[in-house]
Chain A
Amino acid sequence: MSKCYINNNIRKLRFQADELTQQELADKTGVTRQTIVAIENGKYSPTLELAFRIARVFNTPLDEVFSFSENPK
């Protein structure tokens, strides 16, 4: 598995956004549900464009959705 140093709060933000489902988030950002699952589980680091689209769905700044750490979780 590739080392993923990007952590995210997508699961928490989905819960706060009226329990938005992974499929709904995927539809709003134009990717498949599997990609959202992979991002949430730290198995895939999204492109900058997708990261911004995800942040826009939650209407929050990018750094509240994603954070960078020196060591993988």
Chain B
Amino acid sequence: MDNKEKQVLVSLISTVLIFGFYSLYVYNHYIAGNPAILNDFKFWGKAFLFLIPVTIVAEIIIHIVFAIINKIVTNEDMDTRSDERDKLIELKTIRISHWIFIMGFLLSMISQVIGMPPYAMFLTMIASGFISSTTSEIAKIHYYRKGV
């Protein structure tokens, strides 16, 4: 497995971990004690907004830790440069990611049309964001391994 594949794998694992722990935290601290909060739009607004800085900080920390471990184990520096092949793969995977998210967004709208509670819309949007992100990383690994 080359450096790029390792970096993508770390991104995939960190996305799953961050999303998992954040969801658990929000559930245990807010939803478990007060399920009615699910219908509070302010709660969902906060949950979405806090997820952004949490993800950025956690991703940076995880990548730094990985770079240190990689240096110790392999004695090689991580090549973080991005060339034309990396950019092509990035573009292809962003397209896949956007399509999945758009489908999720449409599903979330459909949930409202058929009369489901508002939290169904937010849950669908969060789930589609997570699935689009992980699918994008998996697609990157596929393109790096099989060619583009």
Contact = CB atoms under 8 A, between A and B. Distances in A.
Interface in B1-27: 2-4
Contacts of B85: 31-32, 34-35, 38, 44
Interface string A18-51: 0000000000001111110110011110110010
Contacts, number: 40
A42 B4 contact: no
B146 interface: yes
Contact of B83 (A1, A35, A37, A43): A35
Contacts of B146: 1, 43
Contact of A31 (B2, B3, B84): B84
B90 interface: no
Most buried by A among B81, B83, B85: B85
Nearest to B146: A1
A4 interface: yes
A69 interface: no
Given A32-B4, A34-B2, A2 B83 contact: no
Range for the number of chain B residues in contact with chain A:
10 to 19
Range for the number of chain A residues in contact with chain B:
10 to 19
Interface in B114-148: 144, 146-148
Interface string A57-72: 0000000000000000
A32 B148 contact: no
Interface in B71-116: 79, 81, 83-86
Contact of B147 (A31, A33, A38, A50): A38
Interface of B: 2-4, 79, 81, 83-86, 144, 146-148
A-B complex: 5 closest residue pairs judged by Cβ atoms:
A43-B147, A31-B83, A1-B146, A35-B85, A1-B147
